Chains A and B, each alone.
Chain A
Amino acid sequence: MKKQALSVFYMFLITLFFASLVSAVKVLSEGKIQLNEAIKQQRIILRVLQIPVNDKAPDESVIRLFDMRVKAIEGGQKTLYVGYEEDGQTVQGYAFPVGGSGLWGPIEAMVGIDPQATKILGLAFYGHSETPGLGGRITERWFTDQFTGLPLRPIEGDQNIFYLKPEGTAEASNELDAITGATITSSSVEAFLNKELDNFLRNLWGQIERTK
């Protein structure tokens, strides 16, 4: 009996010690981790608004650039980011988050559009759980750069804003290359991105125009 009690006590002590150690480390690094998240988001927003930021730029310069050129407007469900040109007055573009389901989990992306909502300025993915090397390639520049310059208009009938076609077969101006070997991820992205863009043009854009 005594031996058992001793074991339990020992276990309790050890657990307490290590749990405290882990908690201490967590608390100490929490600030840094949140900062990393925020900066990552800021970099993405700057990128899709075509505001150049060096990948190797230190965090402070990213924060300064963001504060100077972007303003965030909370809109209930979504946050709208307004990007300004260097004069700080003229609107360079708008950015907003979009999301949908991929094959393995939610995919999150940021879309940047020009001030008249006629075309896409940039697209970047910042969250996904797709297969590395296959679906995971949606984050690669060659894929997202395709979207820059894509004309925007609401979905008419069954005419999507854009289509993802097998690599090498894209012909029309609204056909882009899908990712070879990542059929489901590609079709998921096509599906939710079209829907989100259409949704934005029909609903949110009207509100933005009215407040201009």
Chain B
Amino acid sequence: MDYINPVTLFFAAVFTNNILLTNFLGLCPFLSMSRQKRSAVGMGAAVVFVMACTTALNNLVHYKVLVPLGLEHFRYIVFIVVIAAFVQLVEMTVERFFPALYFVMGIFLPLITVNCAIFGASLFMVIRKYDFVQSLAYGAGSGLGWMLAIVAISAIREKLEKTAKLPRGLEGPAITLIITGLLALAFLAFSGMIRVQ
């Protein structure tokens, strides 16, 4: 059976199978964080880092610990614990040693633990039977795709807030969802972009 190139996986995760615009994951923080470009970028950066690392980490935990012990049915709990612990660790480290970085992205870290996209990425990794390198590529790509979506939407929203007077009822979640839908539609155009071999 052929091995799927991690680089292909990476690009596909960003564009053609964007974890937010195609798989609907990570919407909660997406809707609340996308009002300003700055918070969107900060949150996005944090997500990329955490998603890449935890997907790869969970890959190791799943195949090297859970499977040999026959405990795969506990993987949901284990994955969440790993993610929570990892985020906690990163937050402590960044706050202590990289205060400038903490100012940019550290404050979003506690919010990441409830980002379903991070958990979802690990779940997809198991379903699709990725190995370690593929998991890393997929996690990083998905995170980047998520960041791309949230930054794009935040840019649009910022502009919208300044220039447009929205009809009654559209403010807030409604217009954001509609814009997201249009963006998702646009991303469908990428589906022909990636060629294999």
**Residue positions of A touching B, CB distance < 8 A:** 19, 22-23, 26, 99-101, 103-106, 129, 131, 134, 181-184, 187-188, 191-192
Contact for A192 among B2, B3, B22, B127, CB less than 8 A: B2
- In the complex, A18 Cα to B177 Cα: how many Å? 38
Secondary structure at the B interface, as helix, strand, loop or mixed, is: loop
Smallest CB separation, A192 vs chain B (Å):
7
Residues of A within 8 A of B22 (CB): 131
Smallest CB separation, B57 vs chain A (Å):
20
Q: A131-B22, A188-B196 are in contact. Are A183 and B129 (CB under 8 A)?
A: no
- In the complex, A106 Cα to B134 Cα: how many Å? 13
17 contacts between A and B (CB under 8 A): A22-B74, A99-B1, A100-B2, A103-B196, A104-B12, A104-B128, A105-B130, A106-B129, A131-B16, A131-B22, A181-B192, A184-B12, A184-B194, A187-B197, A191-B2, A191-B196, A192-B1
Please tell me if the beta carbons of B196 and A106 are within 8 angstroms of each other in the complex: no
Please tell me if the beta carbons of A105 and B191 are within 8 angstroms of each other in the complex: no
Q: Is B186 an interface residue (CB 8 A)?
A: no
Please tell me if the beta carbons of A183 and B127 are within 8 angstroms of each other in the complex: no
Residues of A within 8 A of B73 (CB): 22-23, 26
Q: Is B39 an interface residue (CB 8 A)?
A: no
Q: Is B164 an interface residue (CB 8 A)?
A: no
Q: A19-B74, A106-B129, A131-B17 are in contact. Are A101 and B194 (CB under 8 A)?
A: no
Q: Which residue of A lies closest to B23 (CB)?
A: A131
Contact for A101 among B2, B74, B188, B191, CB less than 8 A: B2
